[in-house]
Amino acid sequence: MNIKLNDNFDNVKESYLFSEIAKRVNKYSAEHPEAKIIRLGIGDCTLPLTKTVIDAMHKAVDEMGVKETFRGYPPEYGYDFLREAISKYYASNGVDVAADEIFVSDGAKSDCGNIVDILGDNTILIPDPVYPVYMDSNIMSGRKIELISGNQENGFLPMPKGLEVKPYVIYICSPNNPTGATYNKEQLGEWIAFAKKSGSLIIFDSAYEAFIKGDYPHSIYAVEGARECVIEICSFSKMAGFTGTRCSWTVFPKELEVNGKSVQKMWARRQATKFNGVPYVIQRAAEAALSPEGVKEAMANIDYYMSNGKLIGELLKEKGVWFSGGVCSPYIWLKCPNNMKSWDFFDMLLEKVQVVGTPGAGFGDEGEGYFRLTSFGSREATIEAIERLKTIL
Ligand code: MLT
């Protein structure tokens, strides 16, 4: 063939982080079929969908089997019932987001990746370490990327102080994946002030907001001025166990404009062309997850996961291993013992105790020497992993 391919793909790593982990684990598993591997790598929920969600899904499935209530293509921006439920969820956190500013989608990952479609050739500012999708999707579209370091000194919460004042597209994830570090209102206020001063846009990933305990904003729109410079992406995946069910949303406030052009309208146009919406049954399930009963059940599951995190944290404290996270986040971010490199520690854990985690280096160069464990395992698996880790830490 003589066509041209997107050569920017030459600049991304050969495999996506979690695919690379799966590849290594599958290889080990094939070579050691007797090994009982405990997977605390990818942040994937293990508790089933809750009763309220399942009841709503069953009801919706039944509606799909009846001529009068059958639904065809869903609206590409989401059914009004779900957009309104999400708007009310914001209101329950004291934040004003109108239903028609909410665009329902099939995953925060999809929207994080697709958002580059509507943005021009800007300088992209990405914290390091962070969720790899921001970096990969911008490399794939040939954008110029600058990194801002998260490290132990700044508590893995890089701030804009010292940055050149020029327009960037800035990615922020809080509570952070992978470090669990969470910005408070003042710190987010500094980012917003910087965005306004520099004419930048912030893409705020709040996929882990439901894990927040204490006085941290659940949405960046709780901070004054955010509506003029932030797109917020959030998800049902970790909040309500929808990793396999797929539903999320992105907020485009009406105030977001560039030279009089509405960013919201551009996204609406993009979605209308490239996306056919989330299935009705799933949107009914998501609506149920935001009902008072649904939220109560989701919080009980989150508490369960957080207790796993606490147990992992206790082990690390006992062993004198530095770590962060596990407080407003399902992730425990630890410093590899004996200055080991992330992938070496990964291989050692896999070979010696058959526990899988995520190498910090996979989230950026600043993650080298760190390692992420998830608290999304079952209690039994987490306790067993702790017993095994005790023998080598
Ligand atoms: C993670 O483990 O970082 C997440 O599960 C990945 C994702 O949300 O796509």
Domains and CATH numbers, the chain: 11-48+294-390 (3.90.1150.10), 51-291 (3.40.640.10)
- 259 C-alpha to ligand 1 centroid (Å): 35
Q: What share of the chain is helix, strand, coil (3-state, %, to 5)?
A: 45, 15, 40
- 182 C-alpha to ligand 1 centroid (Å): 17
Chain position carrying tokens 């962070």:
130
Using CB distances shorter than 6 Å, the residues near ligand 1 are: 42-44, 109, 131, 177
pTM for the predicted model, two decimal places:
0.96
Residue type, 238: K
pLDDT averaged over consecutive 10-residue blocks of the chain (393 residues)? 96 90 95 96 96 98 98 96 98 97 97 97 97 96 97 97 97 97 98 98 98 96 98 98 98 96 98 96 98 98 98 97 95 97 97 97 96 97 98 95
- Distances in Å between the Cα of 375 and the Cα atoms of 47, 314, 327 are 12, 13, 11
Pocket test for ligand 1, best of 111, 173, 177 (most atoms within 8 A of CB): 177
Cα separation, 152 vs 157, in Å, equals 9
- 331 C-alpha to ligand 1 centroid (Å): 10
Residues 6+ apart with CB under 8 A from 300: none
Q: What atom of ligand 1 comes closest to residue 374's alpha carbon?
A: 2
pLDDT of residue 263: 98
Q: What atom of ligand 1 comes closest to residue 131's alpha carbon?
A: 3
pLDDT of residue 247: 98
Cα separation, 297 vs 317, in Å, equals 30
- 67 C-alpha to ligand 1 centroid (Å): 38
- 155 C-alpha to ligand 1 centroid (Å): 21
Q: What atom of ligand 1 comes closest to residue 44's alpha carbon?
A: 5
pLDDT in tens, 234-263: 999 999 999 999 999 999 999 999 999 999
- Distances in Å between the Cα of 178 and the Cα atoms of 73, 124, 175, 203, 328 are 36, 19, 9, 17, 12
Q: Measured in whole angstroms, how far is the alpha carbon of residue 389 from the centre of its chain? A: 27
Cα separation, 122 vs 145, in Å, equals 9
Closest by alpha carbon to 258, among 219, 306, 200, 307? 200
- 128 C-alpha to ligand 1 centroid (Å): 16
- 253 C-alpha to ligand 1 centroid (Å): 26
- 44 C-alpha to ligand 1 centroid (Å): 7
Q: What are phi and psi of 74, to 5 degrees?
A: -80, 160
For ligand 1, atom 9, the nearest C-alpha belongs to 109
Cα separation, 44 vs 26, in Å, equals 17
Pocket test for ligand 1, best of 16, 17, 18, 329 (most atoms within 8 A of CB): 18
pLDDT of residue 297: 98
367 three-class SS: helix
- 232 C-alpha to ligand 1 centroid (Å): 17
Label residue 288 left, alpha or beta by phi (over 0 means left) and psi (-120 to 50 means alpha): alpha
How far does the chain reach from its first CA to its final CA, in angstroms?
53
- 165 C-alpha to ligand 1 centroid (Å): 32
Structure tokens at 247: 């539903």
- Distances in Å between the Cα of 377 and the Cα atoms of 68, 191, 258, 334 are 42, 34, 44, 17
CB 246: neighbour CB atoms within 10 A? 18
Pocket test for ligand 1, best of 131, 179, 329 (most atoms within 8 A of CB): 131
For ligand 1, atom 4, the nearest C-alpha belongs to 43
Residue pair 224/189 in contact (Cβ under 8 Å)? The answer is yes
Pocket test for ligand 1, best of 42, 135, 333 (most atoms within 8 A of CB): 42
